[in-house]
Chain A
Amino acid sequence: MAATTLPADLTIPQRSFGNLVELFAKEAKYEIVKNVRIPVYAASTIFFPLMFYVLFAIVLGSGNPVTRSESATYMLATLGTFGVMGVSLFGFGVSLAMERGQGWLQVKRASPMPLAAYFTAKVVSAMAFSAVIALALMAIGFAFGNVRLSAVQSAELVGILMLAAIPFGSMGLALGYLAKPNSAPALVNLTYLPMSFCSGLWIPIFLLPHGLQQVARVLPPFHISQLALRAIGMSRDTSSIGSHVQTLVGFTLLFLGIAAFLYRRDEGQLYG
């Protein structure tokens, strides 16, 4: 039986750098494991972009192999962006709103878990799902859509879609702090479906009415899809890579600012 230790005698325990790395790794691992085992999350976020791709790019693609290959290549970028937006907004926004509103985040915050580990894990999980979506789309495109990409193009596309989890994750973070647990899925769908359409993720941007094309420029998914299209040589947009990246960094900072503001408003309230 241990003797009662008096507080004044104790040296404060320290966490080593190794402990911290292990902590971040475990948090990320279990976030991914948790999501993989939620059938609705895993199936819907991965299944929908793949299904759209099969329907629009493969089945509805015209008989002409050249145009079919072109549209199948184009849609790798746009539906890939759509997929990444889904995993990020649901994995970040909806899960944060739930865990916050239902008290689970409180339990974690009462522990010595660094809040950064919690958020990093959600970004890593979104990136892992993004990679799966990108690779699955490419596999279908290569096998059935006559898609031909170089190794560098393929790697760039996957890399861009994975990095897209950062701006979309920051958007999810803001939505997660804005929404109540019950309203979060509806709020995310209301944001993400219209935004996908207006950014040219379902119908190529150049086929949209001129007015909508202008609206797309103020939406983050447009800029991500343009970067992805450029990586595989399909972009018709004349803006520079730098300007897309700048806009995305701006959006990310804006969403992080909104999230930080809402977090502070939450501090000290019943549901932190």
Chain B
Amino acid sequence: MSTAIAQSVHNAAPEAVSVARTRRLTKTYGSVSALRNVDMELRSGELLALLGPNGAGKTTLVRMLLGLANPDCGSVSVFGSDPRDEAMRYRVGAMLQVARVPETLKVREHIDLFSSYYPNPLPMAETLQIAGLDEIKHRRFGELSGGQRQRVLFGISICGNPDLLFLDEPTVGLDVEARRLMWTQIRTLVARGKTVLLTTHYLNEADALADRILVLQHGSIVAEGTPAEIKSRAMGKQVRFNSRLSLDEIRAIPGVLNVAADRQKFELQVQAAEPVVRELLERDSWLSDLEVTSAGLEEAFLALTQNHNHASYGSN
């Protein structure tokens, strides 16, 4: 543990942009390894989506960033300090998955109570307005629909006017309309300069909201990039080969999304391999060491698709 802390100090990048980071974070529950050597960084003002199927370790990672679970190994820091620090929590809001919320309290009572935990909370009216709770503020939690309940949890997470928000599967179980509404509310917060970490198992949700996506699978980060990069990787193939063609010539081939080159070694991201390979062989008969692989995210996204189907069965 102490070596891990020393290492994180040693590696300290410009502190100005880093709001939260983990170094080689590892957590095991019994024989299940929930997180393996996760290195991630959350930058000020961004919306980072943690994308992955159920059981990928998203919630575990959020819990550790919130100081609700201790790492077995590795380090976590939020605003440069230990996440269990109470003063750190003044600047953090969290929307967690919860099986049951006290049902006899009214919406405004829940917000009033959580607001009192923070030194500089938002005015009640503002919280109610941002979270879309104004019309239901006098209703008891137990009388609310699923979408309204999620909005109350969202209101609880923002009422303290935190700089950093953790939203753990904020739209799970919501219908399309309620999901869109939640997206609008999340965008409002990002526009106000909040830093947001969102977990989701919907690629389209991460695509719609995120500046950056981390794909988590079996407790490891398997991909990182902008939504466009992740989407192309998720759907496409990788083509590797040695060729005498120039970088520009290769870029010009239709269907090539991205090129990485190391002298004559090339690695392409493509939508579909066959037309690109045909074109390559036509242009360079000396092409060698040709290799086509799937982008490596297929397994993750297969699971995502299955979960998606499962969720829509559940909500109908």
| Residue among B16, B87, B102 with the highest chain A CB neighbour number at 10 A | B102
Residues of A in contact (CB 8 Å), total 43
| Interface contacts beyond A26-B112, A37-B140, A110-B89: sample of 8 additional A-B pairs, CB < 8 Å, sorted by A | A1-B191, A1-B192, A27-B116, A34-B105, A107-B94, A107-B96, A109-B68, A267-B70
Beta-carbon contact of A13 and B97 below 8 Å: no
CB distance from A224 to the nearest CB of B (A): 29
Q: Which 6 residue pairs are nearest across A and B when measured between Cβ atoms?
A: A37-B104, A103-B98, A4-B45, A102-B100, A112-B89, A110-B94
Contact residues in A for B117 (Cβ distance below 8 Å) = 23, 111-113
Beta-carbon contact of B192 and A2 below 8 Å: yes
Q: Which of B16, B101, B118, B119 contacts A104 (CB 8 A)?
A: B101
Q: Which of A26, A37, A103 contacts B96 (CB 8 A)?
A: A103
Query: Binary interface profile of B, 34-64, with partner A (CB < 8 Å = 1, else 0)?
Result: 0000000000110000000000000000010
Q: Which residues A7-28 have CB closer than 8 A to chain B?
A: 7-8, 10, 12-16, 19, 22-23, 26-27
Query: Roughly how many angstroms separate A27 CA and B45 CA in the complex, as a whole number?
Result: 32
Query: Roughly how many angstroms separate A132 CA and B282 CA in the complex, as a whole number?
Result: 91
Q: List 17 A-B contacts (CB under 8 A).
A: A4-B44, A4-B193, A6-B16, A7-B163, A8-B15, A8-B16, A13-B87, A27-B116, A30-B112, A33-B104, A103-B96, A104-B102, A106-B63, A110-B96, A111-B114, A112-B117, A268-B70
Q: Which of B44, B68, B102 contacts A34 (CB 8 A)?
A: B102
Contact residues in A for B94 (Cβ distance below 8 Å) = 107, 110-111
Contact residues in A for B153 (Cβ distance below 8 Å) = 107
Beta-carbon contact of B160 and A112 below 8 Å: yes
Query: Roughly how many angstroms separate A5 CA and B113 CA in the complex, as a whole number?
Result: 26
Given A4-B193, A110-B94, A112-B89, are A38 and B104 also a contact pair (CB < 8 Å)? yes
Q: B302 in the interface, Cβ–Cβ < 8 Å? A: no
Q: B69 in the interface, Cβ–Cβ < 8 Å? A: yes
Beta-carbon contact of B193 and A3 below 8 Å: yes
CB distance from A264 to the nearest CB of B (A): 11
CB distance from B108 to the nearest CB of A (A): 11
Contact residues in A for B90 (Cβ distance below 8 Å) = 12-13, 15, 112
Residues of A within 8 A of B (CB): 1-8, 10, 12-16, 19, 22-23, 26-27, 30, 33-34, 37-38, 98-99, 101-104, 106-107, 109-114, 267-270, 272
Q: B183 in the interface, Cβ–Cβ < 8 Å? A: no
Query: Roughly how many angstroms separate A142 CA and B119 CA in the complex, as a whole number?
Result: 49
Residue of A nearest to B105 (CB): A34
Given A30-B105, A103-B96, are A272 and B19 also a contact pair (CB < 8 Å)? no
Given A12-B90, A111-B160, are A6 and B44 also a contact pair (CB < 8 Å)? yes
Query: Roughly how many angstroms separate A37 CA and B156 CA in the complex, as a whole number?
Result: 21
Given A4-B193, A7-B79, are A102 and B114 also a contact pair (CB < 8 Å)? no
Contact residues in B for A22 (Cβ distance below 8 Å) = 116
Q: B29 in the interface, Cβ–Cβ < 8 Å? A: yes
Contact residues in A for B246 (Cβ distance below 8 Å) = none
Residues of B within 8 A of A (CB): 15-19, 29, 44-45, 63, 66, 68-70, 79-80, 86-87, 89-94, 96-102, 104-105, 109, 112-114, 116-120, 140, 153, 156, 160, 163, 166, 191-193, 195
Residue of A nearest to B79 (CB): A7
Query: Roughly how many angstroms separate A114 CA and B45 CA in the complex, as a whole number?
Result: 28
Beta-carbon contact of A102 and B105 below 8 Å: no
Contact residues in B for A33 (Cβ distance below 8 Å) = 104-105, 109
Beta-carbon contact of B19 and A7 below 8 Å: yes
Beta-carbon contact of B44 and A7 below 8 Å: yes
Given A2-B192, A19-B116, A23-B117, are A111 and B89 also a contact pair (CB < 8 Å)? yes
Beta-carbon contact of A12 and B87 below 8 Å: yes
| Residue among A10, A15, A99, A102 with the highest chain B CB neighbour number at 10 A | A15
Contact residues in A for B70 (Cβ distance below 8 Å) = 267-268
Contact residues in B for A26 (Cβ distance below 8 Å) = 112-113, 116
Beta-carbon contact of B193 and A23 below 8 Å: no
Beta-carbon contact of B86 and A112 below 8 Å: yes
Residue of A nearest to B112 (CB): A26
Contact residues in A for B44 (Cβ distance below 8 Å) = 4-7
Residue of A nearest to B70 (CB): A268
Beta-carbon contact of A114 and B98 below 8 Å: no
Contact residues in A for B17 (Cβ distance below 8 Å) = 6
Q: Which of B80, B102, B119 contacts A8 (CB 8 A)?
A: B80
Beta-carbon contact of B193 and A112 below 8 Å: no
| Residue among B66, B97, B113 with the highest chain A CB neighbour number at 10 A | B113
Beta-carbon contact of B16 and A13 below 8 Å: no
Beta-carbon contact of B69 and A268 below 8 Å: yes
Query: Roughly how many angstroms separate A38 CA and B19 CA in the complex, as a whole number?
Result: 42
CB distance from B120 to the nearest CB of A (A): 6
Query: Roughly how many angstroms separate A23 CA and B166 CA in the complex, as a whole number?
Result: 23
Contact residues in A for B109 (Cβ distance below 8 Å) = 30, 33
Residue of A nearest to B97 (CB): A103
Query: Roughly how many angstroms separate A193 CA and B5 CA in the complex, as a whole number?
Result: 52
Residue of A nearest to B16 (CB): A6
CB distance from B231 to the nearest CB of A (A): 27
